[in-house]
């Protein structure tokens, strides 16, 4: 079996590694730019298990188990920390919603803890809490280093025979007699029996070339990073009053983002002053100690948003034989990627559809079995 994986982010790299681990040969990864160019390298490098839907929470819980053990799997120290996530709540409606969801999380063994403003202030004295009604702390959540996750997966896959080709943009998927036969690049054709599309926001362009339309749309998101500070922010803090999130990176930089008016489509990966001003004001309001912090750089990337804000993986039986996808992750692909690759590998080689995978098949849209995920950050 000849397998072509399009895209070298965590979805593609995890799939390549797991396919090779199961004994698949002739695996190539085709990347239009350079290793991990897309959303993986632009992410906030965080993982969590708390989602609004049980399907996503269960999936994330198993994905986390792989993420925290990746260092021993790939040989690259991915620098896992579990400082938790802290949601700041500003209305009775928000508090009620989190208390209701915590019943589900408790059933899954991942219950969080509600904190009063005084408890938040005692734990995290640097947070301004005068307008906060309550906080929800998820101690199971954390961070790692995205580059080491990606490079580790790549090196592990390469040791097992997978090959990466950078600067190799796939222009279209080739099909004959309703069966995948390869892909076309500017420099020629590559034969393949299986094509797995893990190109994030660019996946839809390749699917449309085959007449396949899934309800997804790329949204450009922006992030900022300040100069380094002595480490003092332990959790990732999600301010539901301003929609900002703020955390501290491994080298001490303050990083984060904030919701701005949605900018859909494959827009240029650039930054706006509107975003930076809005995020800076939110940071200063919540962290007075950061007044005057120097912003060192900004960047942007895409959320590949699905209609229900949940990832898409696998195939539709009506598609050409040998065509698979993994995308539409709606901002949580980095944390789900380790499990997506593991389950997809068994699906491709053996036709297995794990029960954790089944809800996320692309057929759910035409079947009306959506997974409406409301806890999207950023």
Listing DSSP states for 315-355 in one string gives --TTSPBTEEEEE-BTT-HHHHHHHHHHHHHHHHHH----T
Q: Tokens 């915590």 sit at which residue? A: 102
CA 48, chain centre distance (Å): 10
pLDDT for residue 17 is more than 90: yes
User: What CATH number does the domain located at 3-75+145-215+307-367 have?
Assistant: 3.50.50.60
| CATH architecture of residue range(s) 85-140+217-304 | 2-Layer Sandwich (3.30)
Q: State mean pLDDT over 283-290.
A: 94
The CA distances from residue 120 to 59, 108, 137, 237, 293, in Å, are 29, 25, 10, 11, 23
pLDDT over threshold 90, residue 27: yes
* Residue 139 dihedral angles phi and psi, to the nearest 5°: -70, -15
pLDDT (0 to 100) of residue 262: 80
Q: List beta partners, residue 196.
A: 5, 324
Are residues 170 and 187 in contact, defined by beta-carbon separation less than 8 angstroms? no
What are the residue boundaries of the structural domains of the chain, listed by start? 3-75+145-215+307-367, 85-140+217-304
| Phi, psi angles (nearest 5°) of residue 296 | -90, -40
Q: Percentage of the chain with pLDDT > 70?
A: 100
- In Å, what is the CA distance from 280 to each residue of 232, 245, 255, 292, 302? 18, 11, 11, 10, 21
d(CA 248, CA 237): 10
pLDDT for res 378 = 85
Q: pLDDT tens across 334-370, in order?
A: 999 999 999 999 999 999 999 999 999 999 999 999 9
**CA-based angle 372:256:263, to the nearest 5?**
55
| pLDDT 10s digits, 157-216 | 999 999 999 999 999 999 999 999 999 999 999 999 999 999 999 999 999 999 999 999
Residue 315: both structure tokens together: 């195939």
Residue 295: both structure tokens together: 């912003």
254, two tokens: 């303050």
| Secondary structure (3-state) at 84 | coil
Return mean pLDDT, the chain: 96
Query: What 3-state class would DSSP assign to 48?
Result: coil
3-state SS, residue 323: strand
| In 192-294, beta strands by DSSP E | 194-197, 216-228, 236-239, 244-248, 253-257
pLDDT at 188: 96
> What pLDDT score was predicted for residue 264?
85
Judged against a pLDDT cut of 90, whether residue 329 lies above it is answered with yes
- How far does the chain reach from its first CA to its final CA, in angstroms? 40
DSSP 360: G
The pLDDT tens digits of the residues spanning 34-64 come to: 999 999 989 999 999 999 999 999 999 999 9
Task: Write the pLDDT tens digit of every residue in 244-284.
Answer: 999 999 899 999 999 998 878 999 999 999 999 999 999 99
What pLDDT was estimated at residue 250? 86
* Among 32, 28, 35, residue whose Cα is nearest residue 9: 35
Asked whether 86 and 124 are in contact (CB, 8 A), the reply is: yes
3-state secondary structure of 156: helix
Spatial contact of 112 and 105, defined as CB atoms under 8 Å apart: yes
């Amino acid at each position: 079996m000849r397998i072509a994986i399009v895209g070298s982010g965590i979805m593609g790299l995890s799939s390549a590694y797991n396919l090779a681990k199961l004994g698949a040969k002739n695996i190539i990864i085709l990347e239009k730019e350079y290793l991990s160019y897309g959303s993986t390298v632009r992410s906030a490098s965080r993982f969590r298990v708390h989602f609004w839907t049980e399907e996503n929470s269960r999936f994330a819980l198993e994905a986390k188990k792989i993420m925290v053990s990746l260092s021993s799997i790939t040989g690259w120290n991915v620098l896992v920390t579990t400082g938790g996530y802290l949601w700041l709540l500003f209305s009775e409606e928000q508090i009620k919603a989190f208390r209701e969801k915590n019943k589900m999380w408790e059933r899954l063994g991942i219950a969080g803890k509600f904190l009063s403003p005084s408890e938040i202030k005692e734990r995290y004295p640097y947070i301004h809490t005068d307008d906060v009604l309550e906080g929800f702390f998820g101690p199971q959540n954390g961070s790692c280093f995205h580059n080491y996750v990606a490079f580790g997966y790549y090196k592990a896959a390469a040791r097992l025979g997978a090959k990466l080709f950078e600067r190799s943009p796939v222009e279209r998927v080739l099909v004959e007699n309703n069966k995948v036969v390869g892909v076309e690049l500017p420099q020629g054709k590559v034969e393949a029996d299986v094509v797995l599309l893990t190109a994030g926001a660019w996946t839809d362009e390749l699917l449309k070339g085959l007449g396949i339309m899934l309800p997804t749309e790329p949204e450009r998101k922006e992030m900022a990073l300040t100069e380094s500070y002595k480490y003092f922010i332990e959790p990732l803090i999600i301010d539901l009053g301003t929609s900002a999130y703020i955390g501290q990176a491994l080298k001490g930089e303050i990083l984060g983002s904030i919701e701005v008016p949605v900018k859909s489509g494959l827009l240029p990966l650039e930054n706006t002053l509107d975003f930076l001003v809005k995020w800076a004001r939110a940071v200063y309001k919540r962290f007075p100690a950061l007044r005057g912090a120097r912003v060192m750089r900004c960047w942007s990337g895409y959320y590949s948003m699905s209609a229900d804000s949940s990832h898409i993986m696998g195939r539709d039986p009506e598609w050409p034989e040998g065509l698979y996808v993994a995308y539409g992750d709606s901002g949580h692909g980095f944390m789900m990627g380790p499990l997506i690759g593991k389950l997809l590998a068994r699906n491709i080689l053996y036709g297995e559809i794990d029960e954790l995978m089944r809800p996320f098949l692309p057929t759910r849209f035409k079947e009306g079995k959506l997974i409406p995920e409301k806890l999207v950050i950023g």
